[in-house]
Amino acid sequence: MANFLDFLSGWYTLFAMSRTSHRSRIHEALRLRLLRGEVGPDVRLVDHAIAAEMGVSRMPVREALMQLVSEGYLEGTSRGFALPNLSPERIAEVFVLRRLLEPHAVVCVARDRTVNDLLAMRDALALAESAKGDVAAFHRGAEAFRNAWLGAVRNNELRNAIQRYSGQVQSVRFATLPDPAARKIIVDGLKALLQAVEAQDGPHAHDLMLRFIYDAETAYAQIA
């Protein structure tokens, strides 16, 4: 069943985006799958298999995979590509990066956000809030919220730098999410953040984001 859906999806996108190269399409498709957490930590991505699944040759798949490696989404091993091994040290390093980049990024969002940006953030927040016990649905909402405010970052270099470690952020969130109290804290944090962005209160948004990241790190530290 899953194979059949993948097959349909593959051909749909092939027809819909036929102006772009196979490499770009596959890169984007794989990136979305990674961002949505559809690739487990022990899954090995192999060009042969993906090429057969997508109905193309190895070359575009291989190039897409290598691009994902150089973007930090994947790690090339001697036996297929896999999620980068996120050791506690690496998690801590990513949290340092987050504290450096994301507070400033939300300041820009608070300044430049459009009504569409606000709508996307509200929708995503509603999604996360409505998914009471459904961890997967909550996770999708949280990810949608992150993508929403990231989409409102006008500085492309900054946005790309942040998106490069989105895979790690996602994995950490997955680890933290099972705790209902953590989900409550996340929703409250996002709600406050959204209000600050709506009010275009840059400094407040900055502090809220910093606090949010700090809370996320301590929550993760208690688990691992």
Partner DNA sequence: ATGGCAGTTTCGGTATACTTTTATTGAACC
Partner DNA sequence: GGTTCAATAAAAGTATACCGAAACTGCCAT
Q: Residue from 6, 7, 12, 92 that binds DNA (CB under 7 A)?
A: 12
**DSSP helix/strand/coil, 82:** strand
Q: Residue from 72, 80, 151, 189 that binds a second copy (CB under 8 A)?
A: 72
The tokens describing 163, both together, are: 């998106």
Q: Is 82 in the site for a second copy (CB under 8 A)?
A: no
Residue given tokens 């459904």 in the structure block? 134
Task: Give, to the nearest 10 degrees, the angle between helix 22-35 and helix 47-54.
Answer: 110
* Residue 202 interaction partner, one of DNA, a second copy, none, beta carbon < 5-8 Å per kind: none
The tokens describing 76, both together, are: 């090339």
Q: Is 59 in the site for DNA (CB under 7 A)?
A: yes
Q: How far is the CB of 70 from DNA (least distance, A)?
A: 12
* Residue 33 interaction partner, one of a second copy, DNA, none, beta carbon < 5-8 Å per kind: none
Q: Is 28 in the site for a second copy (CB under 8 A)?
A: no
Q: Is 207 in the site for a second copy (CB under 8 A)?
A: no
Q: Residue from 10, 24, 37, 63 that binds a second copy (CB under 8 A)?
A: 63
By beta-carbon proximity to DNA, the closer residue of 61 and 209 is 61
Q: Is 97 in the site for a second copy (CB under 8 A)?
A: yes
Query: CA–CA separation, 196 vs 202, rounded Å?
Result: 7
Q: Is 102 in the site for DNA (CB under 7 A)?
A: no
Would you say 131 and 137 are in contact if contact means Cβ atoms under 8 Å apart? Answer: yes
Give the torsion through C-alpha atoms of 209, 210, 214, 215, to 10 deg: -30
Cα–Cα distances in angstroms (integers) from residue 130 to residues 34, 124, 139, 184, in the given order: 24, 10, 12, 12
By beta-carbon proximity to a second copy, the closer residue of 165 and 220 is 165
Q: How far is the CB of 144 from a second copy (least distance, A)?
A: 23
Q: Residue from 81, 145, 165, 220 that binds a second copy (CB under 8 A)?
A: 165
Determine the interface stretch with DNA among 10-18, 99-107, 179-187, 200-208 (rule: CB under 7 A).
Answer: 10-18
Q: Is 210 in the site for a second copy (CB under 8 A)?
A: no
Angle at CA 30, nearest 5°, toward 24 and 31?
Answer: 85
Query: CA–CA separation, 35 vs 211, rounded Å?
Result: 24
Q: Is 132 in the site for DNA (CB under 7 A)?
A: no
Residue given tokens 């890169």 in the structure block? 27
Q: How many CB atoms lie within 10 A of CB 129?
A: 14
Phi, psi of 154 (to 5 degrees): -80, -25
Residues in the site for a second copy, rule: CB under 8 A? 63, 66-67, 70-72, 90, 93-94, 96-97, 100-101, 104, 155-158, 160-161, 164-165
